[in-house]
Amino acid sequence: MTTLTATRRSVPYFVPAVLAVVLMIVITALKAPQFLDGGWKLVFVYASPLILLGMAQAPVVLSGGGGMDLSVGPAAGLISVILAAVLIPAQLSVWWLIVLAALLLGAAGGAINGALVAFVRIPPIIATLATYLVFAGLATQILAAPTGFLPRWMRWFTGTDGPLPNVAYVVLGVGLVWWALTRTAYWRNLRAVGSNDRAAYASGVPVTAVRFLAYLVTGVFTGVAGLVLTAVLGGADSTVGPTYTLQAIAAVALGGISLAGGRGGLLGAAAGAVLLFLIQNYLTLTQASSFVLQMVYGVVLILAIVANGLWDRRRKAR
């Protein structure tokens, strides 16, 4: 009995999402056999902005205290608009400058959110809803209509000729950065703050700094997502970014990350995002209407949050 209980407790948080992804791959392959014959690469390319935004959402959720960034979608959209409608038309299109600009813009957005939450002490959902509106409004003000001119080097992100789609290496790179971060004291402090911020503060953990850095990391990862979104769109569209916000939150919940904080990681968020996109892709294959897609998103989000809450309650009961 003891061995069985220990085994149950040792099941990683991301396993249910990964198993669900495998199941959806099988279901999709049965519906469209070409999916396994290279079709999955194109699906991954189109899913990559959501995967990266799901991963970006994870650090702030892990920080606890109701941590959540509603602005990740509009922030990625604004970054995409600035890159495609401001910098590139101004002949500032060399790869290192565009990449650096995306990361700095993302970090700036994350720092704004982090300052509002950690220092000004505005509740995260209110602070990031405000920046959601600001970022979305700025994107629309800068770019009223979609644009589609990009430098040749940005086509690399959507390439599918290798064993993996090129953008997969970007996702792996973000994962590697996060893995390196989990090998530092910051990771231990982040989990401590997310699990119980009062106990962490009493133990000498700088709670304010830890939460601010969580939003900063989220901002940098959002910058990467904005860069990839630009490549996937083949330009920029000011209306696209906001649609990713709720999907990113659903990805985090589906990936087994505790919405109360302190448990989870980027692998679960990535798996949750892939699962969500595979569900969308399957419904598209079945020619479901956009209204059905929206309803499914809502149902999936509710089920994910309920399952997440039950998992947390069960963990606390132990």
| Residue range 138-173, pLDDT digits in tens | 999 999 889 878 999 999 999 999 999 999 999 999
pLDDT at 176 over 80: yes
pLDDT, mean of residues 188-205: 93
Mean per-residue pLDDT, 162-191: 96
Q: What percent of the chain has pLDDT over 70?
A: 95
Tens digits of residue pLDDT in 71-126: 999 999 999 999 999 999 998 999 999 999 999 999 999 999 999 999 999 999 99
- State mean pLDDT over 234-248: 93
Which pLDDT score is estimated for 87? 95
Between 109 and 288, residue with greater pLDDT: 109
Segment 299-309, tens digit of pLDDT: 888 888 887 77
DSSP state of 93: -
Q: Is the pLDDT of residue 3 over 50?
A: no
Q: Note the pTM of the prediction, 2 decimals.
A: 0.93
Asked if residue 291 has pLDDT above 60, the reply is yes
pLDDT of residue 315: 63
Q: Please write the tens of the pLDDT for every residue from 6-43.
A: 444 556 878 888 999 999 999 999 999 999 888 999 99
- Examine the pLDDT at 2 and tell me if it is beyond 60: no
Q: How confident is the model at residue 226 (pLDDT cuts 50, 70, 90)?
A: very high
Does the structure show a pLDDT above 50 at 1? no
296 or 23: whose pLDDT is higher?
23
Residue 318 has pLDDT above 70, yes or no: no
Task: Tell me the three-class secondary structure of the chain, residue by residue.
Answer: CHHHHHHHHCCCCCHHHHHHHHHHHHHHHHHCHHHCCCHHHHHHHHHHHHHHHHHHHHHHHHCCCCCCCCCHHHHHHHHHHHHHHHHCCCCCCCHHHHHHHHHHHHHHHHHHHHHHHHHCCCCHHHHHHHHHHHHHHHHHHHCCCCECCCCHHHHHHHCCCCCCCHHHHHHHHHHHHHHHHCCCHHHHHHHHHHHCHHHHHHCCCCHHHHHHHHHHHHHHHHHHHHHHHHHHHCCECCCCHHHHHHHHHHHHHHCCCCCCCCCCCHHHHHHHHHHHHHHHHHHHHCCCCHHHHHHHHHHHHHHHHHHHHHHHHHHHHC
More confident: 15 or 46: 46
The confidence score (pLDDT) of residue 7 equals: 40
pLDDT in tens, 248-274: 999 999 998 988 888 889 999 999 999
| The pLDDT value given to residue 316 | 62
Model pLDDT, residue 244: 94
Whether residue 4 is predicted with pLDDT greater than 80 in this model: the reply is no
> In the predicted model, is pLDDT for residue 221 greater than 80?
yes
pLDDT score for 9: 54
